Structure 1
Amino acid sequence: MPHLALYTFGVLKSPLADPGPLTREFYDVGEGVYRKISQHPGYLAHAEAADGDRGALFEADWGAWGEFAVPTWYGKGQTVETTALAATLSLWTDLRPVFEAVYTGLHREALNRRYGWFERTGHPNYVFWWVSDGVTPTWRDGVSQLEHLHDHGSAPHAFTFHDSFAPDGTPTRIKGAVPEA
């Protein structure tokens, strides 16, 4: 059975290494969100660096998730001192569990605060695509899908909650759920 890959990407207002309250708040909230989401029904896995070092995204060993990559529109630094981004790559069983994880609880609360942490770039900040069972998506896959979504809109291989697709490529909706625009 196919699994749903999700790549998220946002440009932070401050570098990850910034000791200020904004970065500390982002980390504190993020750790709780990750813990909660990893326990959510339908969650399968997410990319984690082998050393778990904050900010060393570009130098980290991501194992089967591949070399860390970012969209072409990211123009901030790539060193531990200058990296100002948040990105996730995860696998799920289906759209509904992701929707419920994203739009409820701690993650919903974090979404309500996102404009304090993230710049508004005019680019999509997440993308879904289906992968075959046993396939681990890579960071490069996520970037490619996100850039395709930005350039061409939703398609069966790069889509959003609003314009989503089933594993067979047919358009689908999550019954009873309408995410915020």
Structure 2
Amino acid sequence: MPHLALYTFGVLKSPLADPAPLTREFHHSGEAVYRRISRHPGYLARAEPVDGDRGTLFDLDWGAWGEFAVPAWYGKGRAVETTALAATLSLWTDLRPAFDAVYSGLHREALNRRYDWFERTGHPSYVFWWVSDGVTPTWQDGVSRLEHLHDHGSAPHAFTFHHSFAPDGTPTRIRGIGPTSDQVR
């Protein structure tokens, strides 16, 4: 059975190494969100460094998740002092559990604060795609699909909650997500 891959990416207002209260607050809330989401029904796995957090995101060994990559529009830094991004890569059983995890609890609270921490870039902040059972998506997969979503909009290759697709490529809509047939955008 296929699994749903989710890549998220945001450009932070301050570098990760910034000791300011907002940066510390972002780190603290992120750790709590990860713990909560990892226990959510439908969650399967997320990219984590093989040897823990020893270095920059770009230098870490991500194992089967591949070399860390970022979209072309990210232009802040790659060194410890200048890296200003947050990215996740995860696997889910389906859209509904992912939606429920993203839009409830601690993650919902963090989303409500996103503009305290993240720049408004005009680029999508997340993308979904289906992967075959046993396939681990890579950071580069996420980047290429996020860039595709930005350039071409939702398609079976790269989509959002609001314009989603089933594993067979047909458009789908789950209750409470996306426009109804009588809504035109």
Q: Match for residue 64 of structure 1?
A: 64
1:20 equivalent in structure 2: 20
List structure 1 runs of 4+ shifted beyond 6 angstroms.
none
1:148 is aligned to: 148
Once the two structures are TM-superposed, the CA of residue 55 in structure 1 deviates from its matched residue by 6.2
**What RMSD in Å do the two structures reach over aligned CA positions?**
1.2
Partner Cα separation in structure 1 for residue 78 and residue 177 of structure 2: 37
Residue of structure 2 equivalent to 1:5: 5
CA contact (8 A) 1:7 1:87 kept: yes
Secondary structure (helix, strand or coil) at the match of 2:137 reads coil
Which residue number corresponds to residue 169 of structure 1? 169
Indicate the percent of aligned positions where both proteins have the same amino acid: 85
Please report the TM-score for the alignment, with normalisation by the length of structure 2: 0.94
Cα offsets for 1:25-77 (capped at 9, x unmatched): 00010000000000000000000012332761000000000000000000000
Equivalent residue letter for 1:138: T
Correspondence 1:74-153 to 2 at 5 A = 74-153=74-153
Determine the structure 2 residue equivalent to 1:50.
50
After superposition, the C-alpha distances for 1:88-108 in whole angstroms (9 at most, x for unaligned) are 000000000000000000000
- How far has the Cα of 1:124 moved from its partner? 0.2
CA distance in 1, matches of 2:23, 2:35: 18
Letter in 2 for 1:45: A
Give the whole-Å Cα distance in 2 for the aligned partners of 1:70 and 1:119.
15
- The question of whether the paired residues in 1 share the 8 Å contact of 2:6 and 2:91 is answered with yes
In the alignment, residue 81 of structure 2 is paired with which amino acid? E
> Paired residues, what number?
179
Q: What is the CA distance between 1:174 and its match in structure 2?
A: 1.4
Structure 2: distance between partners of 1:91 and 1:56: 23
Distance 1:165 1:178, change over 3 A: closer
Aligned to 1:69, the other structure's residue is in SS state coil
Matched letter for residue 19 of structure 2? P
Task: Structure 1: state its 5+ residue gaps.
Answer: none
After TM superposition, the score normalised by the length of structure 1 is: 0.96
Letter in 2 for 1:29: S
